Copies of this chain bind each other. A is one copy, B any other.
């Protein structure tokens, strides 16, 4: 049975890490009729009660509340710490764990280490967020790897959340994701951060291309610096791409300086 099967039921989804991205996903899941609970380092009980989500300060009653899916949406940098604080033995039934971290080999490996053998694992990366997904998810990429799936109905139902919204479903390995994301997403964030570091602002002689870059920069810096650092620290392909970017700049510089002396 494939991950994009047609089976779809309403799920009980427990979210670990209720930051900006989890809040963004939660709204669509609720709209679709799923039942949500959440736990997080900080107290998000107010926003949760507005959304109709039960918020747990303590992890034990959260785990005890019979979720079909536990969705991990903490920052990349805090994943290891967050996982080590979860008493998995409290779980009452085999549960599907899903992570949405923007790097993939790292959570795949960590989760396979700490999850109970009976838990299923789906590693995913919705390639959008509150900024570029604010007008709907249609056509936006949703990447996933079915790492360890035995309960096909639950997995299929979870994937349906994104299929229903019109996402482009991309089933690739975590390794392939990280390779490609280092050359695309990480690069994009790095350019946004460089422009922000340079404090670029609108001029009276803006070209269209420059305006595109200003918007890009403004969008990128809405993401936490933790998210950006995570793209680098826990994607083993990112360092090479950062080097490639440096080399590209040096090459361009040399070509320009050659023209000066010509």
Q: Which of B132, B170, B251 contacts A209 (CB 8 A)?
A: B132
Q: Which of B180, B242, B251 contacts A197 (CB 8 A)?
A: B251
Structural contact, B249 and A206, CB atoms closer than 8 A: no
Asked if A40 is an interface residue, CB under 8 A from chain B, the answer is: no
- What are 18 A-B contacts defined by CB distance under 8 Å? A128-B208, A140-B208, A141-B205, A172-B205, A177-B205, A180-B205, A181-B205, A183-B200, A185-B207, A187-B210, A188-B210, A188-B213, A193-B252, A195-B248, A197-B251, A209-B219, A213-B216, A229-B259
**Cβ-closest chain B residue relative to A143:** B205
Structural contact, B132 and A208, CB atoms closer than 8 A: yes
For residue A209, which residues in chain B have a CB less than 8 angstroms away from its CB?
Answer: 132, 185, 188-189, 192, 216, 219-220
Structural contact, B212 and A216, CB atoms closer than 8 A: yes
For residue A195, which residues in chain B have a CB less than 8 angstroms away from its CB?
Answer: 187, 248
The docked-state distance in angstroms from the alpha carbon of A143 to that of B207 is 11
For residue A27, which residues in chain B have a CB less than 8 angstroms away from its CB?
Answer: none
For residue A259, which residues in chain B have a CB less than 8 angstroms away from its CB?
Answer: 77, 229, 232-233
Question: Can you add 6 more A-B contacts, CB < 8 Å, to A183-B203, A187-B195, A194-B248?
Answer: A77-B259, A141-B207, A185-B210, A187-B213, A189-B209, A229-B259
* A194 touching B127 in the complex, CB below 8 Å, given contacts A140-B208, A184-B206: no
* A184 touching B197 in the complex, CB below 8 Å, given contacts A216-B209, A232-B256, A252-B190: no
Band of interface residues on A:
35 or more
Measured between C-beta atoms, what is the minimum distance from A250 to chain B in Å? 8
Chain A positions 138-190 with a Cβ under 8 Å from a chain B Cβ: 140-141, 143, 170, 172, 177, 180-181, 183-185, 187-190
Give chain A's interface residues, CB within 8 Å of chain B: 77, 125, 127-128, 132, 140-141, 143, 170, 172, 177, 180-181, 183-185, 187-195, 197-198, 200, 203-210, 212-213, 215-216, 219-220, 225, 229, 232-233, 242, 244-249, 251-253, 255-256, 259-260
Shortest Cβ-Cβ A-B pairs, 10 listed: A197-B248, A180-B203, A229-B259, A194-B248, A184-B210, A132-B208, A188-B209, A232-B256, A188-B210, A184-B203
For residue A206, which residues in chain B have a CB less than 8 angstroms away from its CB?
Answer: 127, 141, 184
Measured between C-beta atoms, what is the minimum distance from A168 to chain B in Å? 9
Q: Which of B184, B198, B229, B251 contacts A245 (CB 8 A)?
A: B198
Structural contact, A212 and B210, CB atoms closer than 8 A: no
Measured between C-beta atoms, what is the minimum distance from A3 to chain B in Å? 15
The docked-state distance in angstroms from the alpha carbon of A208 to that of B192 is 13
